[in-house]
Amino acid sequence: MLRGEPLKAALAEALREADGLGGQERRFTAFAVRELSRHQRLLDLAARLLGHTMGKVGLTEDQALVRYALWRRIFCGEGWTRIGPEVRLPGPVRPRTIKDQLLQEVVETPLPEAPLPDSPAERLAVRYSFPTWFVQRLAEVYPEDELAGLLASLDEEPALHFRVRPPGTRDAVLAALAEEGVAAEPVAAAPDAVRVVDASHRIFETKVMKSGRLQVQDVGSQLISEVCRPAGGSLEGLTVADVCAGAGGKTLALADFVGPRGRVLAGDRSRRRLAEARERVRHFSLKQVAFPHPLPLSDADVLLIDAPCSGTGSLAREPDQKWKLTAKEIAKYQATQSELLDEVARQAKPGTLIVYATCSVMPEEDEAVVEAFLAKHPDFTLEPVGDVLGAERAALAASGPYLKALPPRVPGGGFFAARLRKTAQG
């Protein structure tokens, strides 16, 4: 991963090649790797304060080893008695540029106090290990205490959330899970969301899971599907086009909402991800989902554009991405999003609802795209998401007319959505 491969892919490959590891060891390995990436800036600062800058450590693998020792010390509260057997030679069998003594010093030397930056945004960037430019941009939008809560949440290992199927059966599913000995609880922000309290992953072996009553899905992602509903009504029997279906998470939710008399038309520019969506649709036997190419957008009553984005709302799951993003890349995403929204809008019939959504917390990809679109398209109006969510959920997950499902108020990742109604022929 330190050589540039996506963390998710690098970790998957390493675990595939690792023999003799049990489930608990594999989960710890994945967690530790994400933690080293998640807290990289703070760990590197600690190393510098101890006189061991990463530039002095020859191999990237050894840089990771120093970070690991510091992570176990600072975040896990462990001493050399525990850390030493994990990192010292003969340890990982490979070339090494550092000695055990250096790692012991990293763990046992008193940690000097770091001088605090003058800027509140930079202090938060250091404390929660984010690029300074990223936090400075968010500081223009969010008050300091709200921003601190958002960064802290994006800095944590995410909990496992599920969507209950069919909609409206959450209490029955929770009762069935309890009978199987799995602890789970409802999540207030979304009507069908549950969080697993049991960390053993036994839920995947339950009858409830194997019978198709649960789908792994983030809470904010569930809310995007919710705001595709008509205000005060139902999607049952309607046609919904999932324009950027990806791996099909929202496609499955929309299929449950439209029911057997409705249709979901799914498409995506990535053939690989769309193949995954097809497989998931087959797994759940959802005959109301089709994959026509090109998508007949003018046939749809609702068009969901889950636009390609920076994924900054998902940094808890893929922390390495925060070190790869730049302001220039954000601008490129914004241009792509605007072009996609314009293209879909041209093909939508009058009366159609377009839901524009991202898993980004950057205003350039969210409100700015919608506001620029409305300025160019007087044939569209913005409908408040609160009309669909209701007052209680809107208080948690809405900001003005928009869905802004942000942690910690809404657990999980950060998501955005806007409801755009075509009122006349454009």
Q: Where are the domains of the chain?
A: 7-108, 120-155, 161-216, 219-422
Q: What's the pLDDT tens digit per position in 162-211?
A: 999 999 999 999 999 999 999 999 999 999 999 998 766 789 999 999 99
Q: What per-residue confidence (pLDDT) applies to 118?
A: 86
Provide block-wise average pLDDT over 10 residues at a time, the chain (426 residues): 84 88 88 95 94 78 91 96 86 70 94 88 95 96 95 93 96 96 94 87 91 96 96 93 94 96 94 91 94 95 97 95 94 97 96 97 97 97 96 94 96 96 81
Catalytic residue among 228, 244, 309, 359: 359
- Fold of the domain spanning 161-216: Alpha-Beta Plaits (3.30.70)
What pLDDT shows up at residue 199? 67
* Residue 288 near residue 265, CB atoms below 8 Å: no
Angle at which helices 100-108 and 60-74 pack, to 10 degrees? 30
Look at residue 426 in the predicted model and tell me its pLDDT. Answer: 59
Q: Is 118 annotated as ligand-binding? A: no
Residues 338, 387: contact at Cβ < 8 Å? no
* Average pLDDT along the chain: 93
pLDDT for the residue 190: 96
Strand residues in 161-262 grouped as ranges (E): 161-164, 184-186, 193-196, 214-216, 239-242
Based on its alpha-carbon atoms, the radius of gyration of the chain, rounded to whole angstroms, reads 23
CB 109 within 8 A of CB 50: yes
Does the annotation mark 244 as catalytic? Answer: no
Closest CA to 195 of 152, 163, 161, 236: 161
Question: At 381, which helix (H) or strand (E)?
Answer: strand 380-383
Domains 161-216 and 219-422 belong to one CATH topology: no
CB neighbour list of residue 167: distance below 8 Å, 6 or more residues apart: 191, 192, 256, 257
Q: Which helix (H) or strand (E) holds 355?
A: strand 353-358
Q: Span 219-422: which CATH code?
A: 3.40.50.150
Q: Is 198 annotated as a binding residue?
A: no
Question: How far is residue 200's CA from residue 177's CA, in Å, rounded to a whole number?
Answer: 14
